């Protein structure tokens, strides 16, 4: 998602209300526009409390973000922010698959930078063989 993307007045107003109240992001708002919300919060340094709450919410329920139809338009830094979070409640092979899905038609260097956050040691042998091995050409020698 571009940093220059314009946001709807409604989204901006919702965030200003949240910022003033130091409240948590409502699930309805997050479920309807998770990518835009993440982008908006990520690119506005004054939203540190909301950013923390947003990350906690996404990490507890990552399907909100990863299963959203706009998931593939996330910026690499926004995606990285989520996948490197220690409390992300998602299996490593699922994270790997979402990174592969996201990286379609993107720079291979970006993919390498995201994959380095995958904890391959948490894969079972069959998961590694079935999920990861077919992408061995994308992995650095240290990872395989």
**Inter-residue contact 50 to 41 (CB < 8 Å):** yes
For the residues of 88-118, what is the DSSP string, one character each? Answer: --S-HHHHHHHHHHHHTTS-HHHHHHHHTT-
Calculate mean pLDDT across residues 44-61. Answer: 85
41, two tokens: 């919060």
Report the alpha-carbon distance of residue 117 to residue 23 in Å, rounded: 30
Q: With H, G, I as helix, E, B as strand and everything else as coil, classify residue 100.
A: helix
**pTM of the shown model:** 0.78
Q: Which residues contact 77 (CB under 8 A, 6 or more apart)?
A: 42
Q: pLDDT digits over 95-135, tens only? A: 999 999 999 878 888 888 899 899 989 999 999 999 999 88
């Amino acid at each position: 998602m571009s940093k220059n993307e314009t946001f709807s007045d409604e989204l901006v107003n919702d965030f200003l209300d949240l910022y003033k109240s130091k409240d948590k992001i409502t699930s309805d708002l997050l479920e309807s526009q998770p990518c835009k919300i993440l982008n908006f919060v990520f690119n506005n340094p004054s939203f540190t409390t909301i950013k923390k709450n947003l990350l906690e919410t996404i990490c507890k329920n990552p399907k909100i973000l990863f299963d959203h139809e706009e998931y593939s338009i996330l910026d690499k830094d926004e995606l990285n922010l989520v996948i490197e979070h220690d409390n992300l409640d998602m299996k490593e092979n699922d994270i790997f698959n979402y990174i592969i899905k996201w990286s379609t038609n993107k720079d291979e260097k970006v993919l390498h930078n995201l994959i380095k956050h995958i904890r391959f040691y948490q894969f079972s042998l069959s998961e590694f063989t079935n999920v990861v091995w077919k992408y061995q050409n994308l992995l650095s020698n240290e990872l395989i």
